[in-house]
Structure 1
Amino acid sequence: MMSASSSPDSVAVTVEASQADALEATWRDPPGWRGWICAVNHKTISRRFMIATFVFFLLGGVLALMIRLQLAQPANTVIGPSLYNQLFTMHGTTMMFLFAVPVMQAIAIYLIPLMIGARSVAFPLLNAFAYWIFVFGGMMLYAAFIVGSGPDVGWFAYVPLSLTSYSSGKGVDFWAQMITFTELSGLIEAIVIITTILKMRAPGMSLRRMPLFVWAMLVTSFMVLFAMPAVMFGSTALITDRLVGTQFYSTGDGGDALLWQHLFWFFGHPEVYLIFIPPLGFLSQIIATFSRRPIVGYPLMVLALIATGFLAFGLWVHHMFATNLPEIGKAFFTAASLLIALPTASQIFCWLATLWSGRLSLRTPLLFVLAFFVILLLGGLTGIMLALVPLDLQLHDTFFVVAHLHYVLLGGAVFPLFGAIYYWFPKFTGRLLGERLGRWQFWLFFIGFNVSFFPMHMLGLQGMPRRVYTYPVQMGWGALNFLSTIGAMMIAASVLMFLFNVWRSLRRGESAGPDPWGAGTLEWSVPSPPPAGNFVAVPVVHANEPLWSPPAQPSYVTGLSNTDREVLITSAVEAQPDHRFWLPPPSPWPFLSAVALTVLFIGSIFTPWAVVWGAIPVAITTTLWFWPRKARTAARTSTEVRP
């Protein structure tokens, strides 16, 4: 009779597999319908966030196509002036508030725990609450638009145009409440990201070893904390002016119309960098991987990100050069607008040095990165032009500004975003996006982008004002507008090709494995897609690129429970182990609290009493959310670092 005995290696594999199974059972979300409303896993929330933001991106793109169809030829009557005003308002609002910043936060919520060696984000219930608030706010705005109550005052809602004397419908009220929804969501996500980065990094990952994308999101999140309260206060003052008769902005009653512009642009120009800084992190990760070497000048890159974050708050009057502010003040903001180009220029030199000294692998993610350099150069040059007061006064309300805005935002953010999606899609799904389709999509997007927006520079120089729904034949603007519309259709075709690539890859794409690119950061050390608990054993970090510089004897953290939602808390600077912390399990209360708060906000548009009565369900749901739970009885073990 034969007997089998287990070798030490097979026993170790069996133990590790059992630990992985226990960890998966502990951290996964509930199945079925409960999982839809109770999910708190950061990857689940992030996937939903990314899908929601991309749906809004598609909606904003459809609105843009309708605008371009109307402007394709002079004296066009496809769309009337009232609907046109709603279209360009909804387009700008969607892209700025419902896509550009939220999509960066959504990607960060997925990747940052994996990049810093954590099992979760801090405050997972708040993270889920931020998602629901964001979705409900966007749905509210589009529901109002569909029933004919969409805002029609531009995505900036300048007063007095947005006051009841000129906009008596409910569209502006829905717009102002949407600001409260989205900015509350953004503030919560910023708090979650900052706490996760500063207190949940793997041992050894000091601030000097953090990936540059993590640095970019840390800077962005601190900027959110200072920028978004300004526009939240501004929109709240606007809606109280409209609904309860306060006089913040009514000049005839002692208010100040320019107060709105100061509050809005104190948020609005830093928002450009809230959109722009995360893609700088994308670029650094992609360039390092496809150059096969660490980024040149890592300390300079970090200082440039921080400097950009600081300088971004000194530029808001850049948008107000046409107002009657003192000339000495305008000169200061001109200087600041020129100065902020220096940190970005230093980063570009570091990226170029990395590319020059590396061994390039010219895959689709790197193509989008290289296109970014071209687009950003053009957008940056026109930005320097608009920083000069005399020229800005001539071009302020022309299509030249529209061209500059899209070169900086769509070119400076969406090109790196597509590169990031191609780069991290294998980690999200376990499948590679098609390379041939990716290259076709890139060239169609790159050519279509320039065909669409470069002619707008010339239209602006010829004097075509923005925010007009038609123009006379005699002005001679028809040919360039038609060319711009052709480019917009090419962009739309490119996005459709991208969607087909995603659909095809999810069905039968090439299996990715843990690290298809040979990258150096921690997210590529776990399976694709990652397990619910991310890491079976939390690693100890010894280098900036842990997978490229592995220690002779890898070390891991032991003592964290596999049957309880425990995470390791480390010191903010050096990431030294400090203590263990228990995270709450899946819960319906973030969803129910978001529903109650949504009812309060929407009701307040129609009657101030909704704030009083709506506060009751909000108080009930939040009280039950934070009601003390029964003490845990799980066995405690010490947390140690062991090889």
Structure 2
Amino acid sequence: MTLIPHPPQRALPLHREMERVWSRPPGLKGFLTSVNHSEIGMRFMALAGIYFGIGGILAMLIRTQLATPQGAFLDTALYNQIFTMHGSIMMFLFAIPMLEGLSMYLLPKMLGTRDMAFPRLSAFGWWCYLFGGLILLVALAAGMAPDGGWFMYTPLSSRTYTPGVNADVWLLGVTFVEISAIAAAVEITVTILRLRAPGMRLTQMPLFAWYMLGTSAMMLAGFPPLILGSVLLELERAFDWPFFDVARGGDSLLWQHLFWLFGHPEVYIIFLPAAGAISTILPVMCRTKILGYEAIVAAIVGLVFLSFGLWVHHMFTVGIPQMALAFFSAASTLVAVPTAVQIFAWTGTMWKGTPRLTLPMLHLLAFFGTFVLGGLTGVMLAVVPFNWQAHDTAFVTAHLHYVLIGGFVFPMMAAAVYWLPLMSGRVRVRGVGEVAFALIFIGFHGTFLVMHLTGLLGMPRRIPVYPDNPEWALPNLISTVFSFMMSIGFVLFALDLLLHALFGRRSTRDPWQANTLEWKMALPVPSYNIAALPVSTDISAVALARGEGALPGAPRGRREVLAVSSLEGKAQHVAVLPGNTLLPVVTAAMVGVFVLLMLFGAYILACAALLGVLVCGWTWHRFGRDLRPAQIEVTPGQTLPDQTGVEGSLTRSGMIALIIADASLFGSFLFALGFLSVIAPGWPPPDSGLGLGALVLGGGTLSALAVASGLSRWSRGPLPAALAGVVALVTVLGVAWLLDDPTRHARDALRAAATGYAALHIGIAVLLALIARTRAPATAAASRSLWRLWQDFTLITVAILALLVVAQEVLS
């Protein structure tokens, strides 16, 4: 292992050297190949803003339709597509990607590093987001958009009642976008835990990082149930596997459970980043420190755990037992406690400080007034008798918008105004933003406050006309008028951002006097963020610009950052990040081709597209193959190893995060299996003579995986284990032919899905083993570590599935 000290200062100035290494090529090539977190984060936010505008236009069409009882503006079929796409766009294409973009842009700057942990994964996520959103928008323009509501309840979304491709567009397009969300969750988690400035303990992180850590943990656990539900429903629609068909052992309520296992945590996934922005901006606007740092962190942790126990909150009217109603009602009320802790902390911060009524502060005050009202109506809906009366009325629509717009949009507008000088290097042009704020605030409350009354008068959600209920006409007309006022305000807000970018004068460093790490960078922020990594939060901006910190410059011509321990923030090794590449866009395009082929029923060609994805995945691992172990001087007198051969690498942390998401998917599948076998009618199914097939499937799979696991422990290399994995894969696929027709009963469909799950994971284990085999000896140890992690997880999950299949057969 060689020692690489800091070379003497080159003739090329420090910042020009950094720019050469970290910048992207100009033009289209640079756009396609860039992996820089600042650019990718701004792309997420810009595209989310565009989708927000489209969703807003759809909302105006809805309000125009409901302005009069006859509603002659839209026919019923088109109205169904529009309100479905409005909800889908706002939830999946605006809110989640906006918070992803903000966190990608800010986190490295706040944590004192130069990029996210996996830059190529960030870029891949953005391209998936772009392509998935385009699929939905093109379908809308072609009149083939989903029309079953943004929640896609079965059996309405089954092939029987939605025979076209409308529902398939939602299932495949949204799942495509969810890939982006999982990628972002892995990125955010590993970046926060492993790429902080050296010496920054977990308890010393900015609160925004704490909020995003909680958000990413919820995304890892909350999105897989929706992905599983979408996959199962698409399998039912495409191949007639009856997961949700009551006549064949399925249950339509299974979809609701899987959807709301995602849907209710998503409310807090959306709220937490906005709360992080509030906790960051509010102390600056009040010229003081945040009150109750520890209490806020505890509240974040409490929200993360409590949010997963509330999904039945949306299902109080489906006929669940009284004990379950009482439990989930109490849990829905209890979740208000950690939210109230944060509200009191923010109120106390304003009380002890000196608030400045700047534009960001106005948006924050609007948040307080709006979100508290939304929280109060949420507590009302948590009470079962009231929920039964207000369920599926306009009252719920009003509550939802008070929570989402009050809890997310107002804080995001404050964040946009606050951090725009960081992004553009300019200060805003005063006047337009203040008018926009007034129109949005008045228009919002005029629209949705009245809607509470409309719901209490009995108006259901999602109806296009109401000719027999003239008492609803005036409230709906008032809501429509104020909704257009709110829309004009959003247009002015967009104009304010444009004027800021085009005509704002140059900003000084840290225009808000925040004195936080992100404001210690040059404006606009360069592609590498900082010339040297801060070794102390008290280090000055001038010192960082001079390279007085860790890893100054780019003397080795590589993109280098420091990886630290998760809790203490102790520097462990130097991580080398990949540079600009076409791999993310090519891989996302191959996934997009697969989705389109599935959408049009070309399943054989879709399998060929998956081979293209496999080739792209194989190509990703080539980065770093030529690295050699070395000791790098990070500060004078301190040396650390680079990532070569280090088992505790960023990639291993990313694999652990991915396995957590996979475990959530697996747990959701076990929930589906248990729910159908206990709740659904027609269980157990009539005997199908599958005893031998079930035993062979369970025993053969378990034996082959045990052999693979043993060889991975005792062989000198992964090749024998890879061969054993091939045997296991062939065993699973071969025994699949012994299974009965999966269209016969939900039990058989679940067994077929379990077989596919096992085959996919064994195949990935084989791929990882072969990758480890092709690695150079210096880098093979880290690859073997990743492969063993995945193989152990695969062994555990497939063994559980095999044992459940055998147990089912024996018990039936």
TM-score of the superposed pair, with normalisation by structure 2: 0.75
Deviation at 1:620, TM superposition (A): 2.2
Match of 2:554 in 1: 561
Query: Is 2:576 the counterpart of 1:590?
Result: no
**Match of residue 61 from structure 1:** 56
Asked if 1 retains the 8 angstrom alpha-carbon contact of 2:17 and 2:553, the reply is no
- Aligned position for 2:161: 166
Check the 8 A contact 2:155/2:245 in 1, yes or no.
yes
1:348-497 matches, cutoff 5 A = 348-472=343-467, 474-497=469-492
Q: Is the 8 A contact 2:155 2:252 kept in 1?
A: yes
Give 1:541 shift.
2.5
Q: Could you tell me whether the CA contact under 8 Å between 1:560 and 1:567 is conserved in 2?
A: no
Q: Deviations over 1:148-189 (max 9, x none)?
A: 111000000000000011101101001001221111110110
Q: Distance in 2 between matches of 1:635 and 1:311?
A: 46
Q: Identify if the C-alpha distance between structure 1 residues 433 and 73 changes in structure 2 by more than 3 Å, giving closer, same or farther.
A: same
Cα 1:16/1:85, change in 2 over 3 Å: farther
Q: Mean Cα displacement is larger for which, 267-276 or 430-439?
A: 430-439
Query: Cα offset for 1:64?
Result: 0.2
1:225 aligned onto 2:220: yes
1:149 and 2:136 aligned: no
Larger CA deviation: 512-521 vs 56-65:
512-521
Amino acid at match of 1:274: I
Number of matched pairs: 626
Task: Flag the 1:630–1:265 CA change in 2: closer, same or farther, 3 A.
Answer: closer
Question: Alpha carbon RMSD of aligned pairs, Å?
Answer: 2.0
Equivalence for 1:140: 135
SS at match of 1:409: helix
Query: Offset at 1:208?
Result: 1.5
Matched to 2:565, the amino acid is S
Change beyond 3 A, Cα 1:259–1:324 = same
Give the equivalent residue in structure 2 for 1:128. Answer: 123
Distance 2:216 2:623 in 1: 30
Deviation at 1:559, TM superposition (A): 6.0
Q: CA 1:172–1:238 in 2, change beyond 3 Å: closer, same or farther?
A: same
Secondary structure of the corresponding residue to residue 573 of structure 2: strand
Is residue 77 from structure 1 mapped to residue 72 from structure 2 by the alignment?
A: yes
1:636 deviation in Å?
A: 6.0
1:384-412 C-alpha deviation (Å, 9 max, x unpaired): 00001111011101100000000001111
Cα deviation code 1:574-626 (max 9, x no counterpart) = 11111101111111011101101100011012222233121122222222232
Alignment of 1:191-230 (within 5 A): 191-230=186-225
CA contact (8 A) 1:558 1:641 kept: no
Alpha-carbon distance between aligned partners in 1 of 2:419 and 2:307, rounded to the nearest angstrom:
29
Tell me, yes or no, if structure 1 residue 92 matches structure 2 residue 83. Answer: no
What amino acid maps onto 2:325 in structure 1? K
2:598 to 594, 604, 613: 604
1:577 aligns with 2:571: yes
**d(CA) in 1 for partners of 2:540 and 2:323?**
53
**1:519, 1:547 within 8 Å by CA — same for their partners in 2?**
no
Provide closer, same or farther for how the CA distance between residues 547 and 346 of structure 1 changes in structure 2, counting only shifts above 3 A.
farther
**What amino acid maps onto 2:33 in structure 1?**
C
**What secondary structure does 2:574 align onto?**
strand
Greater Cα radius of gyration, structure 1 or 2: 2
Q: CA deviation at 1:144?
A: 1.0
Alignment of 1:219-368 (within 5 A): 219-368=214-363
Name the counterpart of 1:186: 181
Give identity over the alignment, percent.
42
CA contact (8 A) 2:132 2:173 kept: yes
- For the 8 Å contact 1:43–1:109, the answer to whether it is kept is yes
Mapping for residues 459-538 of structure 1, pairs under 5 Å: 459-472=454-467, 474-538=469-533
| AA at the equivalent of 2:454 | L
CA 1:44 to 1:542, structure 2 compared with 1: closer, same or farther past 3 Å? closer
* Distance in 2, Cα, partners of 1:280 & 1:381: 18
Pick the aligned partner of 1:29 from 6, 24, 45: 24
Provide the TM-score with structure 1 as the length reference: 0.94
**Paired residue type of 1:389:** V
Instruction: Return the offset for 1:506.
Output: 1.3
Cα distance, 1:22 vs. partner? 0.5
How far has the Cα of 1:335 moved from its partner?
Answer: 0.5
**Deviation digits for residues 442-490 of structure 1 (CA, Å, limit 9, x no counterpart):** 1111000000111110000000111100111543111111110111111
Secondary structure in 1 matching 2:250: coil
Q: Report SS of the residue matched to 2:527.
A: coil
Shift of residue 630 of structure 1? 5.6
Query: Moved runs in structure 1, 4+ residues, more than 3 A?
Result: 14-17, 558-562, 632-637
- Supply the AA of the counterpart residue of 2:78: L
Relative contact order higher in (CA < 8 Å, ≥ 6 apart): 1
Q: 1:451 to 1:570 in 2, by over 3 A?
A: same
Partner secondary structure for residue 476 of structure 1: helix
Unaligned runs of 5+ in 1: 1-13
